[in-house]
Chain A
Amino acid sequence: MNRKVSALVSKYKVGTLFFLPFFTLFVIFVVLPIFTAIGTSFTDYDLLNPGKFVGLSNYRLLLFDDDIFVTALKNTLVFALFSGPIGYLASFFMAWIINQLRFKSVFALAFYAPSITSSVAMSVVWLYIFSSDRYGFANNLLYNMGFINQPILWNQDATTIMPIIILISIWMSMGTGFLVFLAGLQNVSPDICEAGQIDGIRNRFQELVYITLPQMKPQLLFGAINAISGAFGVFDIAVAFAGMPSPGYAAHTLVAHLYDYAFVRFEMGYASAVACVLFLLTFFFGRICMKVFASND
């Protein structure tokens, strides 16, 4: 028995040591807080005094009595449904095109750069473009072209806030997913492509659908999970652009909702309940992706 264990250990020792640092940090800063949040969601904790156990009352309030939660949920789903798939497809498409050009790294850097820039810095630029006064870039342009007579209040009008934030988050979504796609595309073995061409594949599109995509299932899964968790977690850019809380709760996502409860209203317990709901939602969509992109190797 001992020999089996020690054999196991020595086989995986080096590998374990490699991922141990990351794993430790992951457990401490990601896994443990999830359990803490679940625990806190059953209490009434206001950050300044110790929490009191209240059972399911937070969840009851959340699911049956909170109309802003419904708005937040709707906003988040709209976000996720637009910026998730669109961002995902855009990342893939861009990766596919760049893969066929020369100077791949230069283009890759150009597209990857927005995602590593701080949201706050990006919001400054976008706020300048979509400034609500007469001299904002977009307003000025539309004005000069004769489309409008009064400046559009971009970051105050509930109907314009959402589309702009979707636009910005798509722009910022060329992140690690994009790089992973690029890497995956470069790993598609040329032998299979040749075999495909012999077998009758006529154009690039067919090659894409029948050969490239199936080969890239693991990368696609990774990109999908990234896109989903990114789409559900939109917060920084929404706050920087529309303020907290946004006018008419137009950009109020689930994260904004839980932030509001945690730090403005001092109800950490309730916020943890919202966080758990968010977690379940993300997990659910993630599982669906895993089913779709399951690869058998």
Chain B
Amino acid sequence: MSGGTRLENANPLIFQRSGERHVAATDEDEDVADPFDDREIFDLIRTINDPEHPLSLEELNVVEQMRVIVNDQESAVSVEFTPTIPHCSMATLIGLSIKVKLLRSLPDRFKIDVHITPGTHASEDAVNKQLADKERVAAALENSQLLEVVNQCLSSRMM
């Protein structure tokens, strides 16, 4: 981040982080199967870093647990995300990061759908279309500069 360039949204609203998931007694029991649930998927994406701020997508309220829906039997996941401002130029990048994170973290059987919360972004349709297009996602990840930014969003902060 250069000293000269200004952030699009320098002082965004901050939301509380949810704590670590409580480990229930059944979680320790070998014989009980734990199905994938909304919270588990939310835990996968809530810690993704925002490309601009030293904050997670959860703290910026870009992702919320109520906007995550998973159906374990039908192997389907749907995630809606909400850009902080309607003209956010990072929306595609954030969507891509969420998509990549889920692709890396979920078994093959899942169909993953990532899109913008309806009515929260100026070019909602265009972004959704890009995110839904498998080939465009694959092509984007071939681009090493783009992959670099995505990886930075997905790596645990060390600095």
A and B, one complex?
no
